[in-house]
Amino acid sequence: RADRPVVLGCQGIERSFGGLRALKGVSLEVREGEILGLVGPNGSGKTTMVNVVTGFYPPQGGKITLYGDDVTGLAPHKVAQRRVARTFQNLALFKGMSVLDNILIGRHVHMRPSALGALFYWWWAEREELAHRRVVEDVIEFMQLQDIRDEPVEVIPLGLQKRVELARALVSEPRFLILDEPMAGMNQEEKEYIARFILDAREARGVTILIIEHHMDVVTAICDHVVVLSYGEIIAEGPPAQAIAHPSVVSAYLGE
Give the span between the Cα atoms of 32 and 103, in whole angstroms: 26
10, 101, 194, 223 from 243: Cα distances, Å: 19, 40, 23, 11
CA angle 52–44–32, rounded 5-degree value: 50
Q: Which one of 42, 90, 114, 204 is in contact with ligand ADP (CB under 6 A)?
A: 42
182 in contact with ligand ADP (CB under 6 A): no
CA 194/CA 157 separation, integer angstroms: 14
State yes or no: residue 45 binds ligand ADP (CB under 6 A): yes
Q: Which stretch binds ligand ADP (CB under 6 A): 14-22, 80-88, 112-120, 136-144?
A: 14-22
Q: Which stretch binds ligand ADP (CB under 6 A): 28-36, 45-53, 69-77, 121-129?
A: 45-53
For ligand ADP, the closer CB: 52 or 198: 52
Rounded Cα–Cα distance for residues 102 and 92 (Å): 10
CB nearer ligand ADP, residue 9 or residue 45:
45
The closest of 161, 7, 181, 140 to 84, measured between CA atoms, is 7
Any contact of residue 46 with ligand ADP (CB under 6 A)?
A: yes
CB of 17 to ligand ADP, least distance (A): 3
Give whichever of 43 and 152 is closer to ligand ADP, judged by the CB atom: 43
User: Which residues touch 14 (CB under 8 Å, ≥6 apart)?
Assistant: 21, 23, 24, 25, 59, 60, 61, 62
CB of 23 to ligand ADP, least distance (A): 8
Q: Do 180 and 199 meet the contact criterion of CB atoms below 8 Å apart?
A: no
What's the min distance (Å) between Cβ of 5 and ligand ADP? 27
Sites of contact with ligand ADP (CB under 6 A) = 17, 20, 22, 40, 42-48
